[in-house]
Structures are given as C-alpha cells and as structure tokens.
Amino acid sequence: MSKPRVVAKANFRSKSERKRVRKGLIQGYLANKVADAKIQFRERQAFYRRLREIKLARRDIARDLHVLAELVADAQRAVRRLIDRAPRGEDTSMEEEALRLLLAARTSAEVIAGEYAAFARRRIYYVEAA
C-alpha cells in the first residue's frame, strides 16, 4: 500500500504566518501580565494609603482617649479629696459610687486607648488572596 498523499495547502500555514501568530500570542500574554502587575501595584498602593489613614485616625483617637483618661483621673482625685474632707459619720455613699464609676471609666478609657495605640504601632502587610 502506498502512503496517503497530503493534499496541497490543506491545513498548512507558512512559517512566517505561524511566527506572526506566535508573536501576537506572546505580545498579548505579556500585555496581560503587565496590566495585571499594574493593577496589583495600584491595589497595594490603595491598601497602604487606606491603612495609613486608619492608623493616623487610630493614633489621634488613642491620644484623645489618653487625655480623657487623665481628665477622669483628675476627677477621681477630686472626688477622693471630697470624701477625705467629709466629716466622720457623714453619708458618702454617693461619692463612693461616683468614685467607683470614675474608676471604671478611667480603666475603660486606658484600655481602649492602649488597644488603639497598639493597632497604630502594629506592622500590617499586604497579602494577596490566592
């Protein structure tokens, strides 16, 4: 038996045409890769910009909460002095209640200020989701 003959120009592209197609595919692939890299770069920039804004806001809030804690501590000392000056036998239950509430407020303000300040100091990195 003889080998089947290939019909001339059936399913054949010239080398230059194949090369042109291959170059086009490679250029398209590279263009997509470059566009993806630019998009990722912009996303990373936006992430760090938003993170910086959040950290600055948290730092400001922490500073204000520290000031608030100091003001509450001053009020606590004033109430303590008031209790100390009260004559013996006088009912100071309201002052004691105020002192207890001021202590709780001061503790809360200091804890929250510490958490906000810790977040502002923490290093946070951009991780791309897989």
DSSP per-residue string spanning 22-52 = HHHHHHHHHHHHHHHHHHHHHHHHHHHHHHH
Give per-residue pLDDT as tens, 52-76: 999 999 999 999 999 999 999 999 9
How far apart are alpha carbons 62 and 118 in whole angstroms?
9
Q: What is the pLDDT of residue 35?
A: 97
How far apart are alpha carbons 31 and 22 in whole angstroms?
14
Average pLDDT of every residue of the chain: 90
pTM of the model: 0.68
Percent of the residues in the chain that have a pLDDT greater than 70, as a whole number: 93
pLDDT for 79 beyond 70: yes
Q: What is the CA radius of gyration of the chain?
A: 36
How far apart are alpha carbons 76 and 9 in whole angstroms?
97
How far apart are alpha carbons 100 and 102 in whole angstroms?
5
Are 85 and 34 in contact, with CB atoms under 8 Å apart? no
Residue 90 structure tokens: 């006088």
Who wins on pLDDT, 60 or 14? Answer: 60
Who wins on pLDDT, 127 or 30? Answer: 30
pLDDT for 29 beyond 80: yes
Residue 103 structure tokens: 């202590």
DSSP per-residue string spanning 44-93 = HHHHHHHHHHHHHHHHHHHHHHHHHHHHHHHHHHHHHHHHHHSPTT---H
Band of pLDDT at residue 130, cut at 50, 70 and 90:
low
